Structure 1
């Protein structure tokens, strides 16, 4: 039936900023890790709400943050958020 995710997690700009803060990443760090240009990161982070623009851009940002250990918490009655994954050690 398709190739991949059961549901596409919608990530907000606020979650991206919070995730960067948890990782102590600058906008430049996020641009480097995601392959998204710095001007695009700056433009996106100047807004609020869901990540705008192309879905490929939002996916690249989300995937880079997840690969670094961020978990996105969906809106589930308590508000959307982020956290760092627990070490398995």
Structure 2
């Protein structure tokens, strides 16, 4: 049985699957995200694995780290949750 991804506190705009996807898009480790967000690696790890909910302040710090790196969270309106770069990124070897 699949783990439920919506293990967040209250109405947090961040899902564990979005956190993993955003890190993957940026090629960040859990440790890098934790450092950039000013959190412990265990907070990131436990949230991503659905073991605990994020406090609203922790979610805000993670979202701010992604936003400052040029990534935005998407979702709502029936389109599903996701992540993307705020601006178009040229594939490796090509210029904009």
**TM-score (normalizing by structure 1):** 0.79
Alpha-carbon shift at residue 84 of structure 1 (Å):
0.7
Unaligned runs of 5+ in 1: 1-7
Q: Alignment partner of 1:11: what SS?
A: coil
Contact 1:52–1:58 (Cα < 8 Å) also in 2: no
Query: What is the aligned partner in structure 1 of residue 45 from structure 2?
Result: 42
- Segments of 4+ moved more than 4 angstroms: none
Alpha-carbon shift at residue 9 of structure 1 (Å):
6.5
Residue 23 and residue 65 in structure 1: after superposition, are their counterparts in 2 closer, same or farther (change >3 A)?
Answer: same
**TM-score (normalizing by structure 2):** 0.73
Query: What is the aligned partner in structure 1 of residue 67 from structure 2?
Result: 66
Whole-angstrom CA distance in 2 between matches of 1:83 and 1:47: 22
Unaligned runs of 5+ in 2: 1-10, 89-95
Query: What is the aligned partner in structure 2 of residue 32 from structure 1?
Result: 35
Query: What is the aligned partner in structure 2 of residue 16 from structure 1?
Result: 19
Higher-Rg member (1/2): 2
Alpha-carbon shift at residue 66 of structure 1 (Å):
0.8
Q: Alignment partner of 1:64: what SS?
A: helix
* Aligned length in residues: 79
> What is the Cα-based RMSD across aligned positions, in Å?
2.1
Whole-angstrom CA distance in 1 between matches of 2:58 and 2:24: 20
**More RCO (CA 8 Å, sep 6+):** 1
